[in-house]
Structures are given as structure tokens and as C-alpha cells.
Amino acid sequence: MYRIWIIEDDDKIAGIVKEHLEKYGYEARRMQDYDHIKSRLLSSGEQPHLILLDINLPKYDGFYLCRQIRGVTNVPILFLSARAGEMDQVMAIEHGGDDYITKPFHLEILLAKIRSLLRRAYGEYAVTSSEDIIELDGLFLDRTRLTLAFQESKTELTPKELLLLDILMRKPGQAVPREKLLEELWDDVHFVDDNTLTVNVTRLRKKLEQLGSPHTIETVRGYGYKLAKREAPR
């Protein structure tokens, strides 16, 4: 059964669409927690196969949410909007949308577009890939694209920086020994200058700070490093 998210603030439209989709065997869920759409996409068992997305929403517009969604998944996105202008449709596609339908619309046309997108994404000839993303308090590490993102900011990482942060993010607040980090990052630690690890840590600290992330890499004297939240200024 395909799961479809409906991100629409009009109760009447959302209800009609949800009922129609369920009539044809789809699992339809209305999503109104706009602050946590991105995190919900990474939750086990929550991932949709397709998203219906309005543009005019009470807190964020659909273009913003589309960018957030595209930061973590390539799930098909079909825009539903009363905006019929060509520029709105262009912006929807440029922000990562796959298709666009204007309100009012016929439910059968909506259903046909949904079926078309699902066939393209999950049909026999579809190319699919699993995103390897770790999230910690709004900090997103994409191991596939070698990127680190926080809110609207994103930066690229070197392979070693990625491996280092991957280890620390999986054990937030816990100190990891330098020896373990060296062994995980390099095949033969006997030929690695200990200062090389320090250089990578320094670079990551700078990138976290530039992103505005609340996390920083702290040195545990005589032991190793840990990923911790910065203390808020008093």
C-alpha cells in the first residue's frame, strides 16, 4: 500500500482528497506539524511514497517545505495550489517539485497524476536509492552526498571529516578515545601523524560553527573527543 502525505491547511480540501485516496486503496495521512516535517521523514515507518503539498500554508510556504523535504529524500512531490501563474509553477519545479495541479481540480485528474508519479518512482523501471542520513537535534549528516546541514545552511565535508562526525553523532555527549577514532579513520595508524586527527577536528569545529549548529566538538583531555551542545550565553 502506498502512503501519501497531504500537507494542506484547508480542512475541506484535505478531507475530500484523503477520503478519495483511501477509496482507491492508498494510505493517506494529513500532516500539519510543519515544524517537524523533515524529522518525521527520517522516522522509522513514517516515510511517505508521495507528498501532496500546498503553497499557501499558515507558517511556512510550500516552497520552503519542498526545499526541506528535498534535503533528505527524493520522494515525489505534487504541488496543489490555487496559484495558477506560470511563475508559481516554475518556482515549484525549481524548488524540487515533480508536478503541479491548480485548484479547483477534478479528483480523477489528481489521481491520474499521483499514479503517474508513483509509476515513475516505484515502477518496474524506476531507479531508487536509499538515503544514508543521520539526524541529531536538527543537524543532518548525509553520508551519500558528503554534506552537513543545519536549518537553511549546508556545507561539504571531506571523506575523513564525514567519518569522524559520523562516529561522534552516533554517540552524542559521549567521549570517544583518540585511538578508536584513528583506527576508524585510517587503515594503518602506525603511519598516521597524531596531528592529522587534530586538523580534521579543527576543520569540523569551524564548519559546525559556520552552520550555526548548537553542537561543537569538545576535547576530553588525555582521552579523546565528544560532540556536545554549546552552552547558551547568560
Is pTM, for the whole model, over 0.85? no
Do residues 112 and 182 share a domain? no
Exposure of 94 in the CB half-sphere (CA atoms within 13 A): 6
The domain that holds 97 is classified in CATH as 3.40.50.2300
Mean per-residue pLDDT over the chain, rounded = 86
pLDDT at 84 > cutoff 80 = yes
- The CA-atom distances, in angstroms, between 224 and each of 168, 170, 176 are 11, 15, 5
Domain membership flag for residue 128: no
Do residues 72 and 161 share a domain? no
Do residues 81 and 28 share a domain? yes
Do residues 79 and 9 share a domain? yes
The domain that holds 197 is classified in CATH as 1.10.10.10
What number is the average pLDDT over the span 46-61?
A: 89
Last residue of a domain, one of 122, 149, 168: 122
Domain membership flag for residue 148: yes
What number is the average pLDDT over the span 207-224?
A: 94
- For residue 225, the cross-strand partners are 176, 219
Do residues 194 and 160 share a domain? yes
Do residues 118 and 137 share a domain? no
Query: Residue 190: what residue type?
Result: H
Q: How confident is the model at residue 130 (pLDDT cuts 50, 70, 90)?
A: very low
Q: Rounded CA gap, 201 and 213, in Å?
A: 15
Do residues 10 and 102 share a domain? yes
Last residue of a domain, one of 122, 150, 182: 122
Domain membership flag for residue 234: no
Do residues 15 and 117 share a domain? yes
What number is the average pLDDT over the span 201-230?
A: 93
- 165-182 residue pLDDT tens: 999 999 999 999 999 998
Query: Residue 65: what residue type?
Result: L
Identify the pLDDT of residue 188.
54
Classify burial at 52, counting beta carbons within 10 Å of its beta carbon; exposed 0-12, middle 13-18, buried 19 or more.
buried
Q: How confident is the model at residue 216 (pLDDT cuts 50, 70, 90)?
A: very high
pLDDT at 151 > cutoff 70 = yes
Per the structure, the complete domain to which residue 112 belongs is given by 3-122
DSSP-based three-state secondary structure for 13: helix
As given in the structure block, the three cell numbers for residue 99 are: 508536478
- 176-207 residue pLDDT tens: 999 999 888 775 544 456 678 888 899 999 99
Ranges assigned E (strand) in the chain: 3-7, 27-30, 50-54, 77-81, 99-102, 133-136, 139-142, 147-150, 153-156, 176-177, 215-220, 224-229
Domain membership flag for residue 210: yes
Identify the pLDDT of residue 230.
75
Number of folded domains that form the chain: 2
pLDDT at 64 > cutoff 50 = yes
Residues 6+ apart with CB under 8 A from 189: 179, 182, 183
